[in-house]
């Protein structure tokens, strides 16, 4: 299994051009990027250097998006937010509004863009996309849901996410509509969260307790990647510093028997599964083969 993680992460690296980490301003997500790439260098063959930066971006972007998605579920429950939209759609909306609008972090933007550009090719959802795996249950990325996510991102910044829109074959009319849809979502979430937002001088509320279960055999490498990068701590820190949480929350990283992540309201616990992180890396070979196949003469 460790070998699969190494091979998958290496293949994933070709999906995005490497970014010069020195050009990014200091931030928890930049630190996660640097440390994640540094760990990959210890498990990859020598000489792969900058290619591993792309792998780090992709893995960290998927992990961050999944965590923020379940933060959305947690806040709906904990803050008793009056949301009538479908649960998964509302959580998607929260995740991407927060990641691109509330968190001013170019490193996180780069992670989100890397993931977004992997969803589609020639207007079709990649069948090998990690979120298309039925094992992810309610988190599965259908064609409609993927378009909705891309629409939110394109609406937030048409230039930053232009490549994502191009890959999804979005027409100019759709892109314009996405801009209005994003503005509506931003205003709606701003209204709902305003009473709970922390100011610069406000005292915080509840805090996250983060716990890593010992990984089962075969998941040691992905568990070390998660801990070495600090991506879980970076994401939790952003939410804790942004929202006055009424209670302490638990964030548990564990083996679950399948790839998933979930909010468990009775215990106020978000569970992120090692299987989910590994699923993102295991699709790398297929993603790379699809890219090569479509670009071959």
Q: Is 240 left (phi over 0), alpha (psi -120 to 50) or beta?
A: alpha
Round to whole Å and give the CA distance between 135 and 149: 20
- Model confidence over 21-51: pLDDT tens digits? 557 778 899 999 999 888 888 877 665 555 6
Q: Determine phi and psi for 102, rounding to 5 degrees.
A: -85, -30
263 vs 13, 22, 107, 167, 297, CA distance in Å?
31, 36, 26, 32, 47
Q: pTM for the whole thing?
A: 0.84
Backbone angles phi, psi at 210, to 5 degrees: -105, 130
Task: At 2, give phi and psi (nearest 5°).
Answer: -65, -40
Q: Using an 8 Å Cβ cutoff, are 265 and 77 in contact?
A: yes
**Mean per-residue pLDDT over the chain, rounded:** 79
Say if residues 279 and 137 touch (Cβ distance below 8 Å): no
Give residue-wise pLDDT tens across range 166-202. 988 899 999 999 999 999 989 999 999 999 998 877 7
271's tokens: 């569970």
CA separation for the pair 7, 93 (Å, rounded)? 33
**Which pLDDT tens digit goes with each residue over 43-102?**
776 655 556 667 778 888 889 999 999 999 999 999 999 875 677 888 888 888 888 876
Element spanning 237, H or E? helix 231-242
Domain ranges of the chain: 2-200+278-295
User: Of 4-13, 83-92, 252-261, which gets the smallest average pLDDT?
Assistant: 4-13
Give the pLDDT band of residue 2 (cuts 50, 70, 90): very low
Phi, psi of 208 (to 5 degrees): -90, 140
């Amino acid at each position: 299994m460790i070998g699969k993680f190494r091979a998958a992460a290496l293949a994933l690296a070709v999906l995005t051009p490497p970014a010069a980490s020195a050009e990014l301003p200091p931030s928890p997500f930049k630190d996660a990027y640097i440390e994640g790439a540094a760990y990959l260098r210890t498990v990859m063959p020598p000489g792969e250097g900058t290619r591993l930066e792309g792998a780090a971006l992709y893995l960290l972007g998927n992990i961050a998006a999944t965590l923020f998605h379940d933060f959305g579920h947690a806040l709906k429950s904990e803050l008793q937010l009056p949301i009538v939209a479908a649960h998964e759609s509302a959580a998607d909306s929260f995740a991407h509004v927060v990641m691109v609008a509330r968190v001013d972090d170019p490193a996180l933007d780069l992670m989100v863009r890397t993931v977004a550009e992997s969803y589609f090719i020639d207007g079709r959802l990649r069948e090998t996309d990690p979120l298309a795996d039925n094992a992810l249950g309610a988190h599965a990325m259908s064609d409609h849901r993927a378009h909705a996510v891309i629409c939110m991102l394109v609406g937030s910044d048409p230039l930053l996410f232009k490549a994502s829109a191009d890959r999804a074959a979005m027409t100019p009319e759709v892109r314009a509509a996405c801009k209005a849809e994003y503005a509506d979502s931003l205003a709606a979430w701003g209204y709902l969260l305003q009473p709970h937002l922390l100011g610069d001088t406000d005292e915080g509320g509840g805090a996250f307790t983060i716990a890593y279960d010992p990984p089962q055999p075969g998941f040691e490498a992905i568990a070390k990647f998660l801990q070495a990068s600090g991506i879980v701590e970076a994401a939790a820190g952003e939410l804790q510093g942004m929202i006055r949480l009424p209670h302490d929350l638990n964030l548990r990283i564990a083996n679950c028997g399948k790839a998933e992540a979930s909010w468990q309201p009775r215990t106020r616990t978000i569970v992120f599964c090692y299987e989910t992180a590994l699923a993102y890396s295991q699709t790398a070979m297929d993603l790379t083969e699809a890219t090569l196949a479509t670009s071959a003469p």
